[in-house]
Amino acid sequence: MDGETVRLRMGLGYDGAPFRGWARQPGLPSVQAAVEDALALVFRMPCTTVVAGRTDTGVHARHQTVHVDVPEQAWRRVAEGRRRPVPGGAGQGPQRSAGRSERTSRAAAVDEEASRPGGAGEDEPLTGVARERETCAGGTEEVSRAAARKLNGALNRVLGKDRADRGWEPATGAVVVHDVAVAAPGFDARFSALSRGYSYRISDAVAGHDPLTRGQSWWLDREVDVAAMDEAVRGLLGLHDFLSFCKPREGATTVRELQAASVRRDERGTITVALTADAFCHHMVRSVVGAAVRVGEGRRPSDWPHERLLARERDASVLMAPAHGLVLEVVHYPGPEGLLGRAELTRAKRATS
């Protein structure tokens, strides 16, 4: 990448149902591919993202965080709303190549989509955004809004026509950029994070089965004991090896610190399992939820998940909850002065584990 670059911090949310998880996979729809394709349309170049936490197939995110490095000039062009002259146009030399022509025409379609009334348009307000503004620098709210409009216009193209052209069901609106700005020095979406918070929703016999929530909650036919489930997940709090609840990755540690855990039933009867940790292993949240449900159904005592934790052995007794009830709710970061130190500490822990 030539010249000076800037690191952008992006907040986004997504419905995980139309995707095969966050990570890009050849020939399969992923959230990462959609976001990077949209970035490529806006910045007129390939872009690679780093995410706070990779989510599995069908898992949703209300507030995910990513970073991407782009040339400073390209960022200024997008932030200030300037369009790059079309290569090969009047007075600009030889006719442009077919590939460049296609990219330019697609980018023009994105510009039109971003400015269309009722779409990601000029006066559309950002809603539902939980920003930690103190960790972002180098951009006003107007710049953030303008860049988010551009990216959401590009996502409309990528998730609509482009998906249809590949034979996939269009999923316009399944990914939304909440905000984007120049990151504070030292920021790393993955390694600077202090914690990630997930929620998992369950509808049992008390809540009944609302067909409008079938894509966001696990339906159970019998009533479960919420107090017993709450006791079960609290027994996992602290720094432990969660091998019994993880699908281990080669060379990766399964030691994690579960910082907060609770199970609550709301006024409508819906059960929410809330878990916060410094980081989560692959399948860890869904396995903890599955173990809690076995307790709630009376099949296991409330101390059974803790016994499984101490066993440090994954077996078929630990049920893995379905993916569609799981939501990444929030990623927490330190203030600007603590970003670099946190990233260095996290990298060191991963390297020595």
DSSP string, 83-121: PPPPTTSTTS-SPPPHHHHHHHHHHHHHHHHHHSTTSS-
Helix, strand, coil % in the chain, rounded to nearest 5? 35, 20, 45
230 is an active site residue: no
First-to-last C-alpha distance (Å) of the chain:
33
The catalytically annotated residue of 56, 179, 204, 230 is 56
Contacts of 49 by beta carbon, 8 Å cutoff, 6+ apart: 10, 32, 35, 36, 39, 66, 67, 68
CA dist 284 and 294 (Å) reads: 16
Return the structure tokens found at 258: 């579960």
* Adjacent-strand bridge partners of 261: 275
Tell me the residue type at 8.
Answer: L
Pairing of strands 60-71, 326-332: parallel
Could you give the CA distance from residue 210 to residue 284 in angstroms, rounded to a whole number?
27
> Residue 7, CB half-sphere, CA atoms under 13 Å: how many?
16
Give the 3-state secondary structure of residue 29. coil
Phi and psi torsions of 264, nearest 5°? -135, 150
d(CA 301, CA 295): 6
Let me know if 144 is exposed, middle or buried by CB neighbors in 10 A (0-12, 13-18, 19+). buried
Contacts of 64 (CB under 8 A, 6+ apart): 11, 12, 13, 14, 22, 51, 52, 53, 55, 328, 331
Residues annotated as part of the active site: 56
